[in-house]
């Protein structure tokens, strides 16, 4: 899924799901100059209501932003374990290969867990994360796994069910929580449910969305969403991303029952700690209205209630690739939190432009629609060019991006390799290359065989072995940021107060919790700044990280200061 760089909802694509023809279309974004609204209004009448009428009805019924539903002063959510956690977003296929077949696996992941968290709070050689989000781990036709063919099984390329259980035991021994991708908007066309559904007389027919004639409306970004049946019987099924991913029909109760049964299996039998919900705003369609429908919100409330019934401390985070206000309509009673795309775009844009105003505006919008910290922060994910690439491969900007992320409210997520300054642009497989453990040519310490995809060419410096223990490395920078956040409750739970500065390149704010205050100041510009013009005196505080507390900042410098009483 893609969003425009303004962070506002318009039209979206998900190139990781697309066929080669659709991938080409996605890369030619400039040619697709229409907005979602224009597309919808141009579509003919569907059923008894026009698309425009359906859109108005949807907007009238949609939930209010979270801050209105729970109150801007709502803080109960801050007591849950995930608000103390740092999440690591991990692709098993590319993390570490223990067998030499060139594909990462769970035994390899177990071998490398000490890099993420060694279980000893007295050491500082591990990264220090508290939770892992695993991208899809089930059998699938694709390399990426977002076309699930069996929701209960482990992808045999990654190991066995026993390997996964051993991985879970190793994580629990270190205090690491585990969240898996729950891809339920659609399945693979090779899933047995869909294979049975192709038969019009099957009890599984209504598990997917079928029509006897092809409807005359298309998808949110102009793509074909109606695909001819494999039976060649003149019927069509709905798949918003492509024909290999037919959408499940959540208006058919047996589908919900099956998904709830799967949740029970993973939360109880496998003892995972929660789910990341993929493409969740597309769950239930209202004719040509294919995102953010009232029925989707209603189903997610059932999902949330069932999750908490099965495991009260289970965590759910949603991918709602949209603008800030739309995302906020999902959190709190449909999922615990959701990824804040608008804030992510604004952070990177502010660094590229060396102007804090863009990010300040996004933070004020976040403050308007969410209770404090009821969202997940990230720099980039597995569908986007890596943040180093987005910042012109300027490590000083990537360091600032991380420092800002880890001092803001919200639940922070790191995409694997971000802590090493890995850089990559599209196409999608290039965003998911092997984790570079060493500077060994060809294998980067990821495998003893041939990697499933070639590692990035900057492995000589961008690797764990070179950076570990180097006080000036990006890895050490991340280790320090994570530990400062863990040590300072104000950075995890504190109120955010934005400060004015006399420099357009300076971002400044205070985090405050139970009388403790932490000042965070960042110079987004390439020139030093003197005379910050803040109404807070940093020189009386204790430096936690960054520049020495003073009324100045170095070029691309920052300071995190615990203020004196």
Q: Which residues are catalytic?
A: 278, 319
Give the integer Cα–Cα distance in Å for 454 and 437.
Answer: 14
- Tokens 């180097």 locate to 470
Kindly calculate the radius of gyration of the chain based on its CA atoms and give it in whole angstroms.
Answer: 24
308 within 8 A of 314, measured Cβ to Cβ: yes
Taking the C-alpha atoms of residue 344 and residue 363, their distance in angstroms, rounded to an integer, is 10
Question: Which stretches within 216-316 are classed as H helix?
Answer: 253-264, 294-310
213 burial (CB, 10 Å; 0-12 / 13-18 / 19+) is exposed
Residue count of the chain: 565
Rounded CA-CA distance 543/41 in Å is: 56
Q: Which of 540, 541, 536, 524 is nearest to 488 (CA)?
A: 541
| 257 contact partners, CB below 8 Å, separation of at least 6 | none
Paired tokens of 255: 């589908």
Angle at 156 between CA 151 and CA 158, to 5 degrees: 100
Q: How far is CA 244 from the centre of its chain?
A: 23
Quote the CA–CA distance of 106 and 323 in Å, as a whole number: 35
């Amino acid at each position: 899924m893609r969003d425009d760089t303004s962070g506002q909802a318009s039209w979206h694509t998900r190139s990781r799901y697309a066929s080669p023809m659709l991938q080409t279309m996605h890369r030619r974004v400039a040619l697709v100059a229409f907005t979602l609204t224009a597309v919808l209004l141009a579509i003919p009448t569907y059923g008894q209501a026009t698309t425009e009428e359906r859109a108005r009805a949807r907007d009238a019924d949609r939930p209010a932003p979270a801050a209105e539903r729970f109150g801007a002063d709502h803080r109960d959510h801050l007591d849950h374990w995930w608000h103390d956690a740092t999440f690591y977003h991990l692709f098993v296929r590319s993390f570490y290969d223990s067998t030499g077949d060139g594909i990462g696996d769970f035994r390899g992941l177990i071998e490398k867990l000490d890099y993420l968290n060694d279980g000893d709070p007295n050491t500082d050689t591990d990264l220090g994360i508290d939770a892992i989000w695993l991208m899809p781990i089930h059998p699938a036709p694709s390399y990426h796994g977002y076309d699930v063919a069996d929701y209960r099984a482990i992808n045999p390329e990654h190991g066995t069910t026993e390997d996964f259980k051993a991985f879970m035991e190793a994580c629990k021994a270190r205090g690491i929580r585990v969240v898996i991708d729950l891809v339920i908007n659609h399945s693979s066309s090779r899933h047995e449910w869909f294979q049975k559904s192709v038969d019009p007389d099957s009890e599984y027919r209504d598990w997917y969305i079928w029509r006897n004639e092809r409807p005359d409306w298309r998808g949110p970004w102009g793509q074909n969403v109606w695909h001819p049946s494999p039976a060649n019987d003149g019927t069509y099924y709905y798949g918003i991303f492509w024909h290999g991913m037919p959408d499940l029909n959540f208006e058919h109760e047996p589908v919900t029952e099956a998904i709830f049964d799967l949740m029970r299996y993973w939360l109880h039998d496998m003892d995972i700690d929660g789910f990341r919900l993929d493409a969740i705003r597309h769950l239930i369609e209202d004719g040509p209205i294919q995102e953010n429908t009232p029925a989707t919100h209603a189903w997610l409330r059932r999902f949330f209630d069932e999750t908490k019934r099965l495991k009260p401390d289970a965590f759910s985070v949603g991918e709602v690739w949209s603008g800030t206000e739309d995302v906020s309509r999902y959190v709190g009673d449909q999922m615990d939190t959701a990824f804040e795309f608008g804030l992510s775009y604004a952070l990177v844009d502010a660094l590229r432009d060396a102007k804090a105003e863009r990010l300040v505006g996004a933070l004020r919008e976040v403050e308007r629609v969410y209770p404090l910290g009821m969202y997940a922060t990230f720099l980039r994910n597995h569908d986007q060019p890596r943040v180093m690439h987005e910042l012109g491969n300027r490590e000083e900007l990537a360091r600032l991006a991380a420092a800002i992320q880890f001092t803001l409210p919200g639940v922070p997520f790191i995409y694997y390799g971000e802590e090493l300054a890995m850089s990559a642009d599209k196409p999608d497989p290039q965003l998911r290359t092997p984790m570079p453990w060493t500077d060994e040519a060809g294998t980067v310490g990821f495998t003893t065989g041939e990697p499933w995809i070639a590692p990035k060419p900057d492995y000589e410096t961008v690797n764990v072995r070179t950076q570990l223990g180097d006080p000036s490395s990006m890895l050490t920078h991340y280790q320090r940021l994570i530990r400062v956040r863990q040590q300072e409750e104000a950075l995890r739970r504190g109120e955010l107060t934005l400060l004015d500065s006399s420099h357009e390149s300076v971002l400044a704010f205070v985090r405050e919790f139970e009388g403790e205050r932490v000042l965070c100041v960042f110079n987004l510009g390439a020139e030093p700044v003197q005379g910050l013009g803040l109404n807070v005196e940093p020189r009386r505080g204790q430096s936690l990280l960054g520049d020495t507390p003073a009324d100045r900042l170095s070029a691309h410098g920052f300071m995190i200061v615990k203020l004196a009483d």
